[in-house]
Amino acid sequence: MKQFEVPNIYRSKLISAVKTMRKQQDKLKKDFRPTLLDFGNLQIYLARHFGFCYGVENAIEIAFRTIEENPGKRIFLLSEMIHNPQVNADLIERGVSFLQDTYGKQIVPFDSLKSDDVVLIPAFGTTLEIEALLNKKGIQTEKYNTTCPFVEKVWNRSEQIAQKGYSIVIHGKPKHEETRATFSHASSHTPSVVVNDIDETVELAKYITGEKPGSDFYSAFKGRYSDGFDVTKDLQRFGVVNQTTQLATDTQAISDYLKQTLKSHYGLTDANIGERFADTRDTLCYATNDNQTAVTGMLQTDADLAIIVGGYNSSNTSHLVELCEKKLSSFFVNSAEKILSAKEILHADWRTKEEKLTTGYLPENSPVRILVTSGASCPDALVEDVIKKLASFYDAADRLDTITASFIA
């Protein structure tokens, strides 16, 4: 896989050594057991896969190279490039401005843009409408496009099944940048609708079976369907694609439910279900899959708590917290600074994104066993900072170099 030039401020000597060793030992990525970092009274178990993915490293390389190549020019990001506060803050510090917030609210008017301005398209991609608007102003969107190739894969898959006469059901968070972009691309080819979760999927299925009158659809899914969507015919034949950072199990459950609804309603079998349900395969990105599987593997370890590092508005990170929370006490932090002391931690609720203070989060037993992972947009340096902070509570921070050396061949 291609190696990207990512600033050293995001790298970690410890994490790089661990990842290199695990990759050498498990080239086929079949061993999802965590890696033990033994500090004596503190034992940290690192997930097999975590941190920057291909798409994020690609976006960061393009963004920093763009800054270097365009001195004196106004440089804008369409919105947050990735969902990590440190990376976005670093770009702002280097003179980059945001045109919109993460929900599409305008910060800098498009009317103020000039043809010689540089506009970076974020890793989530953007809508065809915004792309056309920028191109009309003479702004080169292709040259500075950091859209993740795995997001583009979803767009391509949508177009392929659209050409075969299928509509598209998109599993994603309706306000998420990636879902908005995927909806724009899919609906340019075929009727499309967005569902957020399995509950909305169950409701959507009722319009397929006629359990609910079609007229109710347009209010229930307001803002989620393409122009001209005809509920009486556009749900008769479709495929399911997803926001690439969704929980794999959730997407599978949604796909299975809709597939079974079509089979039951139209009297189809596995042999002929393809007449009405497109085989879209899994459109999750590899990193989302690997990170979720790694957390499942990590959770097999007997531990006292889990700490998950990443941006609070990061969808893929929130899902890792969701998985951990089902098994043990879990704390979602966006930096080591949120670990206030050995007694107190400031952490976010993955549902509301609001922070809360918890006291007594570290148990009294010895050794204390902590599971650690991070999202696909989180720098390894932040994970190392968290490990150092935890180790300092056990007077073991000075062992970091020794532990790092043990992973270097």
Per-residue pLDDT reduced to its tens digit, 51-72: 998 889 999 999 999 999 999 9
- 235 in Cβ contact with 208 (< 8 Å): yes
- 14 in Cβ contact with 46 (< 8 Å): no
pLDDT-derived band at 308, boundaries 50, 70, 90: very high
pLDDT-derived band at 76, boundaries 50, 70, 90: very high
pLDDT over 90 (residue 82): no
What pLDDT was estimated at residue 184?
Answer: 98
The answer to whether the peptide bond before residue 367 is cis (omega within 30 degrees of 0) is yes
- 331 in Cβ contact with 347 (< 8 Å): yes
Local structure of 156: helix, strand or coil: helix
Can you list the domains of the chain with their CATH numbers? Answer: 8-53+286-406 (3.40.1010.20), 54-136 (3.40.50.11270), 171-275 (no CATH)
Three-state secondary structure of 306-368 = EEEECCCCCHHHHHHHHHHHCCCCEEEECCHHHCCCCCEEEEECCCCCCEEEEECCCCCCCCE
What pLDDT was estimated at residue 214?
Answer: 95
Once rounded to an integer, what is the mean pLDDT over residues 289-318?
95
What pLDDT was estimated at residue 127?
Answer: 96
pLDDT over 80 (residue 281): no
57 is known as an active-site residue = no
What pLDDT was estimated at residue 409?
Answer: 67
Task: In whole angstroms, give the CA distance from residue 354 to residue 369.
Answer: 26
- 266 in Cβ contact with 340 (< 8 Å): no
Burial environment of residue 53 by CB neighbours within 10 A (0 to 12, 13 to 18, 19 or more): buried
pLDDT-derived band at 75, boundaries 50, 70, 90: very high
Q: What is the pLDDT of residues 128-166, one digit of tens each?
A: 999 999 999 999 888 899 999 999 999 999 999 999 999
Q: What single-letter amino acid sits at 364?
A: E
- Measured in whole angstroms, how far is the alpha carbon of residue 97 from the centre of its chain? 23
What pLDDT was estimated at residue 279?
Answer: 83
Query: Nearest 5°: CA angle at 18, between 16 and 334?
Result: 65
* Active-site pick, 178, 200, 322, 384: 178
What pLDDT was estimated at residue 3?
Answer: 80
Once rounded to an integer, what is the mean pLDDT over residues 37-44?
97
Structure tokens at 165: 């006469």
Look up the pTM and report it: 0.89
pLDDT-derived band at 284, boundaries 50, 70, 90: low
Q: What is the pLDDT of residues 229-248, one digit of tens each?
A: 999 999 999 999 999 988 88
Q: What single-letter amino acid sits at 348?
A: A
What pLDDT was estimated at residue 310?
Answer: 96
Structure tokens at 185: 């691309």
- 375 in Cβ contact with 291 (< 8 Å): yes
Structure tokens at 96: 């980059």
What phi and psi values does residue 163 have, to the nearest 5 degrees?
A: -65, -20
Q: Sheet harboring 368-374: ordered strands across?
A: 35-38, 42-46, 368-374, 305-309, 330-333, 344-348, 355-359
pLDDT-derived band at 1, boundaries 50, 70, 90: low
Query: What is the residue-wise DSSP string for 183-244?
Result: HHHHHTTS-EEEE-SHHHHHHHHHHHHTSS-HHHHHHHTTTSB-TT--TTTTTSSEEEEE-T
Task: In whole angstroms, give the CA distance from residue 359 to residue 339.
Answer: 11
Local structure of 388: helix, strand or coil: helix
Structure tokens at 303: 């531990």
pLDDT over 90 (residue 102): no
pLDDT-derived band at 282, boundaries 50, 70, 90: low
